[in-house]
Amino acid sequence: MEHQPPPSGHARELEYRRRQRRAAQLAFADMVADAERLGLYDIRPDTRTAPRAVRKQTEA
């Protein structure tokens, strides 16, 4: 087995960012799953109602 030198500062920073990004992705997936379970998140929202709601707000 070949000995490899420790990663450089740049490589450590990239690895740190990769770990942080992965943790953020997992946290977001957990939040979406919780919202779906509680009925607070619709994967396919009705795109017709959103423009109506905005129009009502601007007309008022």
> How many Å apart are CA 6 and CA 14, to the nearest integer?
14
pLDDT in 10s for each residue of the chain, 60 residues: 577 777 788 899 999 999 999 999 999 999 999 998 998 877 676 666 666 666 777 776
Nearest to 22 by CA among 34, 32, 14: 14
> How many Å apart are CA 34 and CA 53, to the nearest integer?
26
> How many Å apart are CA 33 and CA 20, to the nearest integer?
20
Confidence at residue 50, expressed as pLDDT on a 0 to 100 scale: 65
43 DSSP assignment: S
> How many Å apart are CA 28 and CA 11, to the nearest integer?
26
Confidence at residue 33, expressed as pLDDT on a 0 to 100 scale: 92
pTM higher than 0.75, yes or no? no
Confidence at residue 58, expressed as pLDDT on a 0 to 100 scale: 74
